[in-house]
């Protein structure tokens, strides 16, 4: 047997480690480590503690991954910020967009350059966005304490499909003379820590001035709860705080947020709603499930076009709108050597296409399925983002299933998987050991 060349052996080792992390449901980010740098990549530079106030968090959520991931092989210094599907992602600092687009690894992504005095400039990256970014190459974006330019919305596109929706965020430093790029570690992060959009990011960043303190910028969301979303006068959400329900489909403006709740104004009153009952006003994303009547269902390049792959009957997918006739759903699907049906080599580099010749485990793609074999669904898997998530019982009142706060069925640990079978006023209904239970929706990583 011929010995494997050293470089190839290193590459294969890196792929095996990354593949293991994917299977474990822990590796969902862009980029790979240099060969032989399994413990601490050579391009990894720890940023010292400081109060430079140079960057702000681009989104609100909990830290699902940081520098501690499996020796840092796949996650050198960057942060995965888990948040409900569709949470706004903003610029971490004013700068110029240097690239946007799609890749099978990053999904929809944005990269921004930030000029600085002295020897360096900086790059920030935002990946796994829900849909095509709201900005384009060359755009100048702003950032303030509490808000900035919306780049897109958090999701799980690209290789984030084995986790909940999140934004993979990183800060890199570029030497102006040599062009050398260093991945900076954000100090003080621990898995499970909460971060708020617009709050300062820890660390000292040479040559950057502090970001000014300005009010948060509002954004619009659309209510998705089937029977409307309850609005309360305070974040305590007690019965005597109830202000009424906002009807499904209503667009409201968010003027503030606090750990899973949005402050909005509706019909002359200001109150708080659960953000798990909303989605971005301009988003077309929804849940789609293919029929169980067939073992497999065809995925096509365009409505009625060539078949590029198949999905198993009963598969739940994320949908991104319908065709002009309304009889086709545009969906994201998982292309593997088994599910691929395309022989067109160019499909490997297309957003909508198959994956011929794919040697890795999977590639996330877009395609079309007939509405005759698919339908909308509110069922979706999600993961908890904190420990001790209480599971409450189920009560049927006036023929409607709803949470019973007087009955406790158990609790879930951090990053537990559950399947959501229904929702009501910011609560998620789940199956708990064959019993119907309820958990608070904002304690999960949200719709996938």
Query: Is 228 in contact with 247 (CB distance < 8 Å)?
Result: yes
Q: Measured between alpha carbons, how far is 425 from 440 in angstroms, rounded to an integer?
A: 9
Q: Which residues contact 79 (CB under 8 A, 6 or more apart)?
A: 63, 65, 66, 168, 169, 170, 186, 189
Same fold, 285-376 and 380-443: yes
Residue 341's CB is within 10 A of a number of other CB atoms, namely: 17
DSSP 8-state code for residue 432: E
Domains of the chain, residue spans: 6-195, 219-280, 285-376, 380-443
Pick the CATH number of 380-443 from 3.30.450.40, 1.10.1740.10, 2.30.30.40, 3.40.50.720: 2.30.30.40
Q: Measured between alpha carbons, how far is 135 from 150 in angstroms, rounded to an integer?
A: 8
- What value, to the nearest 5°, has the Cα angle with vertex 346 and ends 344 and 350? 115
pLDDT for 341 equals 96
| Partners of residue 251 on adjacent β-strands | 222
Separation of first and last alpha carbons in the chain: 46
Residue appearing with tokens 């489909």: 249
Residue appearing with tokens 């100048």: 140
Query: Is 404 in contact with 392 (CB distance < 8 Å)?
Result: yes
Residue 218's CB is within 10 A of a number of other CB atoms, namely: 14
pLDDT for 217 equals 66
pLDDT for 170 equals 92
Q: What is the DSSP annotation of 299-332?
A: EESSTT--EEEEEETT-EEEEEEE-TTSSEEEEE
Whole-prediction pTM: 0.61
219-280 folds as SH3 type barrels. (2.30.30)
Question: What would the CATH number be for the domain defined by 6-195?
Answer: 2.70.70.10
Ordered per-residue pLDDT tens for the chain, 448 residues: 334 443 433 333 333 323 323 322 333 333 322 222 222 223 334 333 345 689 989 998 877 776 544 344 455 668 888 877 778 899 999 999 999 988 878 889 999 999 998 899 999 999 999 888 989 999 989 887 766 788 998 888 887 765 667 899 999 999 999 989 988 888 877 766 778 888 888 888 889 988 876 666 677 888 888 788 999 998 877 778 899 999 988 999 988 777 668 889 999 999 999 877 887 777 777 778 899 999 999 999 999 999 999 999 988 888 888 888 889 999 988 888 999 999 998 888 788 889 898 876 667 788 999 999 988 776 667 778 777 899 999 998 877 888 998 999 999 987 788 888 887 777 889 988 889 999 987 777 665 4
Residue 255's CB is within 10 A of a number of other CB atoms, namely: 15
Domain 285-376: CATH class, spelled out: mainly beta
Query: Is 88 in contact with 219 (CB distance < 8 Å)?
Result: yes
The two structure tokens encoding residue 303: 């409505």
Q: Measured between alpha carbons, how far is 125 from 109 in angstroms, rounded to an integer?
A: 7
pLDDT for 32 equals 29
Q: Measured between alpha carbons, how far is 6 from 12 in angstroms, rounded to an integer?
A: 10
């Amino acid at each position: 047997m011929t010995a494997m060349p050293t470089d190839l052996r290193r590459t294969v080792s890196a792929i095996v480690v990354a593949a293991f992390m994917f299977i474990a449901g822990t590796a969902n980010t862009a980029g790979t480590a240099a060969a032989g740098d399994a413990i601490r990549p050579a391009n990894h530079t720890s940023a010292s503690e400081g109060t430079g106030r140079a960057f702000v968090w681009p989104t609100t959520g909990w830290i699902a991954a940081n520098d501690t991931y499996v020796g840092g092989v796949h996650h050198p210094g960057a942060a995965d910020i888990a948040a409900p599907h569709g949470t706004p992602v903003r610029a971490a600092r004013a700068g110029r967009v240097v690239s946007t687009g799609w890749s099978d690894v990053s999904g929809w992504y944005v990269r921004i350059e930030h000029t600085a005095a002295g020897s360096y400039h900086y790059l920030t990256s935002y990946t796994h966005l829900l849909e095509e970014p709201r900005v384009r190459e060359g755009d100048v974006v702003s950032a303030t304490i509490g808000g900035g330019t919306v780049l897109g919305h958090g999701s799980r596109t690209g290789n984030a499909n084995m986790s909940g929706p999140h934004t993979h965020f990183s800060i890199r430093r570029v030497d102006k003379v040599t062009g050398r790029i260093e991945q900076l570690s954000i100090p003080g992060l621990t898995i499970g820590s909460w971060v708020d959009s617009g709050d300062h990011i820890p660390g000292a960043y040479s040559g950057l001035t502090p970001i000014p303190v300005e009010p948060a910028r509002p954004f619009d969301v659309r209510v998705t709860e089937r029977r409307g979303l309850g609005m309360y006068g305070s974040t305590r959400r007690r019965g005597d705080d109830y202000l009424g329900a906002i009807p499904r489909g209503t667009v409201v403006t968010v003027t503030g947020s606090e750990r899973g709740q949005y402050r909005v104004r509706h019909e002359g009153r200001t109150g708080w709603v659960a953000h798990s009952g909303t989605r971005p006003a301009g988003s077309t994303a929804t849940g789609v499930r293919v029929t169980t009547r067939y073992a497999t269902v065809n995925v096509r390049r365009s409505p009625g076009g060539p078949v590029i792959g198949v999905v198993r009957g009963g598969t739940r997918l994320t949908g991104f709108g319908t065709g002009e006739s309304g009889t086709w759903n545009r969906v994201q699907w998982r292309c593997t050597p088994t599910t691929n049906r395309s022989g067109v080599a160019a499909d490997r580099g297309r957003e909508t296409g198959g994956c011929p010749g794919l040697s890795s485990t999977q590639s996330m793609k877009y395609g079309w399925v007939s509405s005759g074999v698919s339908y909308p669904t509110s069922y979706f898997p999600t993961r908890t983002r904190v420990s001790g998530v209480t599971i409450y019982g189920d009560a049927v009142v006036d023929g409607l299933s709803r949470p019973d706060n007087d009955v406790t069925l158990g609790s879930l640990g951090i990053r537990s998987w559950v399947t959501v079978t229904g929702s009501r006023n910011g609560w998620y209904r789940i199956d708990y050991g064959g019993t119907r239970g309820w958990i608070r929706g904002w304690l999960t990583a949200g719709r996938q």
